[in-house]
Amino acid sequence: MKEIRVLSPVGMLGYGFPAESFQKGLEKKPHVIAADAGSTDAGPHKLGAGVGIVSKEATKKDLTLMITAGCENKIPVIIGSAGGSGAEVHLNWTSEIVKEIAKEKNLHFKMALIHAEVEKDYLQKKLAQGKIKPLGPVPELTSKDIEEATRIVAVMGVHSHIKALEMGAEVIIAGRSNDPAMFAALPIKEGYDPGLALHMGKILECGAMASTPGTTSDCMMAYLREDCFIVEPTNALRKCVPSTVAAHTLYEKSSPLHIIGPEGVVDVTGCKFEQYSERAVKVSGSKLKKSETINIKLEGASKVAYRTICIAGLRDPIMIKQIDECEKHVRKTVATYFSDIPSQDYRLIFHIYGKNGVMGELEPRKEITSHELCLILEVVAKDQELANTICAFARSTLMHYSYKGRVATAGNLAFPYAPSDIPTGAVYRFNIHHLIKVNDPDELFSIEMIEV
């Protein structure tokens, strides 16, 4: 039976995977090895600051296994959203790791770097032409937003990956990529149904998460055929069942029936999830509805402030019952003492775990039943010095506040770390979350071929 086999070793490059599971996958003779290396789950800091999601050591360990196997078995290796956010700094960081591996292992291959960072002048022109619109409930993009962004990336689909394969790339390190793109590129290039291929990519992008017990740190194998695809974990300790694969189809989507990407919308309304074997699930019925226009997602991050935090424990039951009153006292004292500083120059935030630290004002259970609380005192300010100053004053005020019924004369807080106040540096926000209309899906993504 004609099929194309795709091996996904890990749900996030650098999360690690068992070498034994990877070897089992190689025994299935995959036609491509692919992995996602990025996410916006960690917020805008990685894009804004230009740093990776995982360490160099972990990334190198995963890539060494993948690229060595790819070279030895003549299997292309595709990495998307390099370095976490897929900007130029992330792409360069990942490519240098690949070159280190090649030197150490004496490997030779053609590597494609697909660039995804977008020039601001280009975006200014597109904005003036009315080619950029909001994606979701965000404001219209302004010229100022573009200028304030430290980095802006476009999210590529399968087209650029396919183009790199057609250029002879044996290893592809791509900038910011749509999650299914790395896994669907070769199958679509070879003529397989794009709806099934993109849905398959959606399942593979998190490694073995669509199995039970699910994890991103293990391998998943997919077999794409003319009218279906089959997914199966390579580790015998795991298995796929219809509910786990169907659940992952719903993962990170605004609509349960649609997988939206640069290629269009994959409609899973008529999709079937069937147990194919003891550990494998067969999926059929996914259909791609191509968009009439080509819209590419833009992601940009801008620096807005600086942060300092303080972590402390509270165990006095008298204080715990009055924690809201204690917070009000601290806020009032800080505002009074620093009345000469404009209130918009800083924010004082209380995260109280054991009360409503996860849900905040949405927490339905109002009564505190914990015998202890964890307080994370956070200050976000226009500069690091002000953040440090406000945090130190708020911390000392709460530490010695004489709340009603207080018996102790020592401090109210227990600090697990010294220093107690921890500057965390710049704070970023996603200031660009928009769609740009283009004539060519590869318009924003240039490909650089390198002999490694």
Q: 82 with 91: CB under 8 angstroms?
A: yes
Backbone phi, then psi, for 65, in 5-degree steps?
A: -65, -45
Bridge-based pairing of strands 346-353 and 77-80 is: unpaired
* pLDDT confidence of residue 174: 98
List Cβ neighbours of 232 (8 Å cut-off, separation of 6 or more): 220, 221, 222, 223, 239, 240, 276, 277, 279, 280, 281
From the DSSP assignment, how many helices (H) and strands (E) are in the chain? Answer: 13, 19
List Cβ neighbours of 27 (8 Å cut-off, separation of 6 or more): none
* pLDDT confidence of residue 1: 62
Q: How far apart are CA 68 and CA 203, in angstroms?
A: 25
List Cβ neighbours of 86 (8 Å cut-off, separation of 6 or more): 38, 80, 116, 117, 153, 155, 174, 175, 176, 177
Question: Residue 18's CB: how many other CB atoms inside 10 A?
Answer: 16
Q: How far apart are CA 38 and CA 176, in angstroms?
A: 7
Q: 222 with 6: CB under 8 angstroms?
A: yes
Instruction: Check: pTM over 0.85? Answer yes or no.
Output: yes
Q: How far apart are CA 265 and CA 263, in angstroms?
A: 7
Q: 280 with 231: CB under 8 angstroms?
A: yes
Backbone phi, then psi, for 161, in 5-degree steps?
A: -65, -40
pLDDT along the chain (452 residues), means of 10: 94 97 98 96 94 96 98 98 97 98 98 98 97 95 98 97 98 97 98 98 97 97 98 98 96 88 94 97 97 95 98 96 96 98 97 95 92 98 98 97 90 96 98 96 96 96
* pLDDT confidence of residue 359: 94
* pLDDT confidence of residue 182: 97
* pLDDT confidence of residue 408: 79
